[in-house]
Amino acid sequence: MFLSVIIAVIMIFGAMWTIVTEDLFKAIVIFAIVSLSSSIMFLLMQAPDVAITEAAIGSGITTGLFIFTYKKVEEEKDER
């Protein structure tokens, strides 16, 4: 029962941290953690289908995309 509370706390703090941090790469990594923990939350809500999809697409592909764009955007290193 209180596993869900722990996961919820992790998610909320991760979300806040992602929004607040300055460094982009750190934000992306923490976002990956948040989406993984949301996939666990889906499991706790008895929704395995959604959990797998969220894990595969929500955290897998999206984080990959973010890192890809981060690499492309960071190339010139003059982020104003």
Partner 1 sequence: MKDETSVLVNIIAFLILFVIGIYIYSVAIDTGAGIKITDNITPTMRVADKYLNKNVLDDNSTYQWGGTAEDTAANIVTSVVVDYRLFDTTLEVIVLFITILGFGFVIPKDKRKIIKPTTILNRWAPILMLLMLMIGGYTFINGHLSPGGGFPAGAIISTAILTGVLTGRRTISQKSLKIIEAITGISIFSIGIISYFLTGSFFQNFILNDKIGDLFSGGLIPIFYGLIAFKVAAELSNIYFEFYEE
Partner 2 sequence: MTQVFILSSLSLMFIGLYGVLTRKNLLKIIIALNIIETGINLLLVSFGYIDHGITPILTSQESILNLNKMVDPVPQAIVLTSIVIGLGTTAFALALAIRYKITHNSISINASEEEEGRGI
Phi, psi torsion values for 47, nearest 5 degrees: -125, 75
From the list partner 1, partner 2, none, partner contacted by residue 46 (C-beta under 5 to 8 A by kind): partner 2
Under the criterion CB under 8 A, does residue 3 sit at the interface with partner 1? no
From the list partner 2, partner 1, none, partner contacted by residue 55 (C-beta under 5 to 8 A by kind): partner 1
Is the CB of residue 37 less than 8 Å from the CB of residue 11? yes
Integer Cα distance of 26 and 76 in angstroms: 19
Under the criterion CB under 8 A, does residue 68 sit at the interface with partner 1? yes
Q: Residue 7: name the closest of 43, 39, 37, 29 by CA.
A: 37
Tokens standing for 13?
């703090």
Residues lying near partner 2 in the complex (CB under 8 A): 1, 4-5, 8, 11-12, 15-16, 18-19, 24, 27-28, 31, 34-35, 38, 41-42, 44-50, 53-54, 57-58, 61-62, 65-66, 68-70, 72-73, 76, 78-80
